[in-house]
């Protein structure tokens, strides 16, 4: 069972999946009018079709019709203000499934993670695109120069100190720069998909200070 609706702001992706596919229609039937429940059922059925283990062209076509009907009725039932960009994005799910396979094999978390890192590059309200572009170029140039230039011992030590940002969790503090893990075992990937419905980016550290 997912956590209470009052805690939905903290739900994981897999909790939202269970809510959408299994719990939402029975729970909402007693609170929403029949028209609204029937409308929401269009979304539930469409997503269910695109989440099957094997999705054929007929499933994709049916899901596309259901999602188009759902998006159209959003305006009819709730007004144009409710027809947000996220509602429009639903119309692209059939194409994404046709190109990349069932939705359970597609994750937007890497893109959201990249957006989060891009946001950290912004330090002022003006010229945001220029700030992101300049700092991305600086980061790329720094990586290139780090590989190509031979630094003196003093400069190499200073560079290492700048890169060694510690992170602390409770009484444990990791030391040094994080090293991304490029590949995970199939068993780990399966575990992440079962528990969180995605495979996150994972980094490792070679040093840690424990109990400090």
According to the model, what pLDDT value does residue 168 have? 53
- What does the pLDDT average to over 45-59? 96
Query: How long is the chain?
Result: 212
Q: Is the model's pTM score more than 0.75?
A: no
pLDDT tens-place string over residues 96-131: 999 999 998 888 778 878 888 888 888 888 888 998
pLDDT tens-place string over residues 62-93: 999 999 999 999 999 999 999 999 999 999 99
Residues 6+ apart with CB under 8 A from 148: none
Residues 6+ apart with CB under 8 A from 3: 10, 11, 15
pLDDT tens-place string over residues 13-25: 889 999 999 999 9
According to the model, what pLDDT value does residue 1 have? 60
pLDDT tens-place string over residues 134-156: 988 888 887 788 788 888 888 87
pLDDT band at 172 (very low <50, low <70, confident <90, very high): low
Backbone angles phi, psi at 120, to 5 degrees: -70, -15
Question: Is the dihedral angle over the CA atoms 179, 184, 190, 193 positive or is it negative?
Answer: positive
Cα 50 from Cα 64, distance rounded (Å): 10
Question: 41-45, 69-73, 151-155, 169-173: which has the minimum mean pLDDT?
Answer: 169-173
Neighbours of 64 (CB within 10 A): 20
According to the model, what pLDDT value does residue 197 have? 65
């Amino acid at each position: 069972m997912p956590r209470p609706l009052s805690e939905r702001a903290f739900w994981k992706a897999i909790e939202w999946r269970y809510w959408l596919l299994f719990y939402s229609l029975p729970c909402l039937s007693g609170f929403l009018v029949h028209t609204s429940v029937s409308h929401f059922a269009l979304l539930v059925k469409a997503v269910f079709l695109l989440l099957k283990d094997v999705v054929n062209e007929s499933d994709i076509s049916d899901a596309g019709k259901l999602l188009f009907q759902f998006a159209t009725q959003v305006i009819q039932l709730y007004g144009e203000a409710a027809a947000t960009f996220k509602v429009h994005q639903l119309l692209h799910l059939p194409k994404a499934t046709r190109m990349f396979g069932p939705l359970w094999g597609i994750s937007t978390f890497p893109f959201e993670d990249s957006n989060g890192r891009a946001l950290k590059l912004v330090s002022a309200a003006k010229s945001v695109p220029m700030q992101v572009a300049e700092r991305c170029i600086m980061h790329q140039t720094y990586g290139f120069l780090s590989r190509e230039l031979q630094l003196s011992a003093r400069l190499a030590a200073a560079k290492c100190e700048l890169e060694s940002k510690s992170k602390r969790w409770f009484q444990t503090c990791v030391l040094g720069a994080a090293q991304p893990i490029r590949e995970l075992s199939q068993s780990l990937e399966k575990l992440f998909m079962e528990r969180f419905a995605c495979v996150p980016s994972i980094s490792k550290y070679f040093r840690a200070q424990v109990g400090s």
